[in-house]
A and B are shown apart, each in its own frame.
Chain A
Amino acid sequence: MPESERNPLIERMAGEGISRRAFMKYCATLASLMALPAGAGRAMAEALTRAARPSVIWLSFQECTGCTEAITRSHSPTLESLILETISLDYHHTLQAASGEAAEHAREEAMKQHFGKYLVVVDGSVPMKDGGVYSTIAGISNHDMLMDTVKGAAAVIAVGTCATYGGLPKARPNPTGAVAISDLVRDKPIVNIPGCPPIPVVMTGVIAHYLTFGRLPELDRLLRPRAFYGETIHDRCYRRPFYDQGKFAKTFDDAGARRGWCLFELGCKGPVTYNACASVKWNDATSWPVESGHGCIGCSEPDFWDAGGFYRALSLPADPLKGMAAAAAAGVVVGAVVSVANRARKAEVRAGHETATLADLDK
């Protein structure tokens, strides 16, 4: 049997000791997470084990590799990583063995062979300042590589907050002129999977959806899959009842914090952050930031890095107010000036006053 027609996922699963039952369960979970109709799990399982799978080119630009780490190494071996590795991942800096010319050749080869059909996954933002010199691969600027690669792409998946919104490289003062993928790619279907890093299952969910139905899942205004980004962390938080009762932890280790009270006053950004952490959790559903006692920092939201202190409650000013003394002084000065003007006018009126006489009344 030629290499391309074998069923690598089934073989890999068998090799890793993952049963068919576990795989079916996983697909059913994926389908239910994405609120797909009953039966979609089976369809997904079939699609995922089908031999022909699209080529995937993974581009890494201004990023920290945290997204790849999260997806491939969160819990080894995960079904997520197996799915990722067994799709035809033809180009990925971190995961591919080839380097230099050979690596770039692999990308060009994949583009040529699968033109119009391959998926492009991007993590990292693209620097636009000074001709994009701040990040290059094989002497090619990120911008040029992106635009060249997406030409033949069926769809683009932006992974992580850097690729989706610019992320940390775009944080003020944005020294490299970093932009998001969706700022550059306008004519291809794009799905944004924000998070720093994003949740692995969200990523595989989107890929599984694409493989099963041949199209991207339903997206919201910010191009995020609705199924995973439809609700805030706060909406799904297990500490939410305490918020509703007005019970808040005041410090990270007081009695309230130990009882699991709401972390709102400690700066939790859960109420304004759309992500699935509260329902899907992390590291094989072991825990997630709020469960470990730290508020949400809003890492899957645009420009979260510049959204005020992580430890300042949402209802407080983002940063301490400045210039109050100057405002007060200015108020007193303006008041004094107006007061002088008023007195001058009063004096003027008094000086111009003419006493009325009986004769005036006859006029």
Chain B
Amino acid sequence: MNELEFLTWVRGPGMNIAVSIFVLGVLWRLFEIYSLGRKADLAPGRERAGASGWHTIGRRMLPPPGMVKRSPVSYIGGYVFHIGLFLIVFFFAPHIKLVEDIVGLSWPALPSPVIDAVTMITLAAMVAVLIDRINHPVKRFLSGFEDWFTWTVTFLPVLTGYLAVKHLGLPYTTLLSLHILSVEILLIVLPFTKLFHAFTTFGSRWYTGKIHGHRGVPV
């Protein structure tokens, strides 16, 4: 398989397979999780639950008191790379073009130099959290295969995307193919790993807040 055939495959059948598995996986997991159900809580609520669910979604975005000082790399690095990924994925012009092509929606992009800078910062933050995870005995102890694996599949699309845009190292055709392939791998594993938090995190926070409110500890 030559370079152009490889690119054509990842842009064609490969993309089709990856997006299909992603769509299938996301719906499967969401359906599975939300259909688990909970027993009806027969006790009357201690207080009016109010907007406790929504408040929790917001509150949990902020670090608990003292934690930034205790674990600065996790918190600051975590914020930086999550925001960075969000900006890169949703505000880089070619990505918007792709979304527009698939679902017909489009919105304004950020200038490429801004995305360049964000990418560099994101890559640095991801490397920092990885080093912290390796160096910190407790974090290392708590880490299993899935943690290293999900870090890798998240990191590779950012790295290969940056190299492709900057034409670094390999021919553009190969880099673009590798970038698309790495994203396809990410799409395929996302619904079936911890990365699925991209879909579940807000739902579970809302649920937690709602339950706490019901039991008398609203936030």
> Which A residues are closer than 8 A to B by beta carbons?
222, 232, 234, 246, 265, 271-272, 298, 301-304, 306-308, 313-324, 326-328, 330-332, 334-336, 338-339, 342-343
Instruction: List B residues 65-116 near A (Cβ within 8 Å).
Output: 93-94, 97-98, 101-102, 111-112
B27 & A307 in contact (Cβ 8 Å cutoff): no
B3 & A318 in contact (Cβ 8 Å cutoff): no
CB-CB under 8 A for A331 and B26, given A318-B12, A321-B102, A324-B19: yes
Interface centre among B16, B25, B102 (most CB of A within 10 A): B16
B102 & A334 in contact (Cβ 8 Å cutoff): no
Q: Is B151 an interface position by the 8 A CB rule?
A: no
Chain A's nearest CB lies how many Å from the CB of B152? 23
Please give me the residue from chain B that is nearest to A307 by CB atom: B8
Q: How far is the CA of A231 from the CA of B23 in the complex (A)?
A: 39
A232 & B28 in contact (Cβ 8 Å cutoff): no
A331 & B25 in contact (Cβ 8 Å cutoff): yes
Q: Is B47 an interface position by the 8 A CB rule?
A: no
Q: How far is the CA of A218 from the CA of B101 in the complex (A)?
A: 42
Which among A246, A321, A327, A335 is the interface contact of B29 at CB below 8 angstroms? A335
Q: How far is the CA of A301 from the CA of B111 in the complex (A)?
A: 32
Q: Is B4 an interface position by the 8 A CB rule?
A: yes
> Which B residues are closer than 8 A to A by beta carbons?
2-5, 7-8, 11-12, 15-16, 19-21, 23-32, 35-37, 93-94, 97-98, 101-102, 111-112, 171-173, 176
B16 & A316 in contact (Cβ 8 Å cutoff): no
**Contacts beyond the supplied A232-B172, A334-B28: 18 A-B pairs with Cβ under 8 Å:** A303-B2, A306-B8, A314-B176, A316-B11, A316-B97, A317-B12, A318-B8, A321-B16, A321-B19, A327-B24, A328-B23, A331-B25, A331-B27, A332-B27, A336-B35, A338-B31, A338-B32, A339-B32
Measured between beta carbons, the chain B residues less than 8 angstroms from A318 are: 8, 11-12, 15
B4 & A307 in contact (Cβ 8 Å cutoff): yes
Chain B's nearest CB lies how many Å from the CB of A318? 4
10 contacts between A and B (CB under 8 A): A272-B4, A307-B4, A308-B8, A317-B15, A317-B16, A317-B101, A321-B16, A327-B21, A331-B25, A336-B35
B25 & A323 in contact (Cβ 8 Å cutoff): no
Interface centre among B15, B36, B173 (most CB of A within 10 A): B173
Measured between beta carbons, the chain A residues less than 8 angstroms from B15 are: 317-318, 321
A330 & B24 in contact (Cβ 8 Å cutoff): yes
Q: How far is the CA of A127 from the CA of B8 in the complex (A)?
A: 24
Chain B's nearest CB lies how many Å from the CB of A249? 14
Which among A234, A303, A331, A342 is the interface contact of B28 at CB below 8 angstroms? A331
Measured between beta carbons, the chain A residues less than 8 angstroms from B4 are: 272, 298, 301-304, 307
Chain A's nearest CB lies how many Å from the CB of B28? 4
Please give me the residue from chain A that is nearest to B12 by CB atom: A318
B172 & A234 in contact (Cβ 8 Å cutoff): yes
Which among B3, B20, B111 is the interface contact of A327 at CB below 8 angstroms? B20
A303 & B31 in contact (Cβ 8 Å cutoff): no
Measured between beta carbons, the chain B residues less than 8 angstroms from A246 are: 93, 111-112
Please give me the residue from chain A that is nearest to B92 by CB atom: A315
Q: How far is the CA of A232 from the CA of B170 in the complex (A)?
A: 13
Measured between beta carbons, the chain A residues less than 8 angstroms from B7 are: 272, 307, 314
Please give me the residue from chain A that is nearest to B172 by CB atom: A271
Please give me the residue from chain B that is nearest to A243 by CB atom: B112
A303 & B8 in contact (Cβ 8 Å cutoff): yes
Chain A's nearest CB lies how many Å from the CB of B39? 10
Q: How far is the CA of A331 from the CA of B23 in the complex (A)?
A: 7
Chain B's nearest CB lies how many Å from the CB of A267? 12
B31 & A336 in contact (Cβ 8 Å cutoff): yes
Interface centre among A320, A321, A330, A336 (most CB of B within 10 A): A321
CB-CB under 8 A for A313 and B172, given A303-B8, A323-B20, A324-B20: no
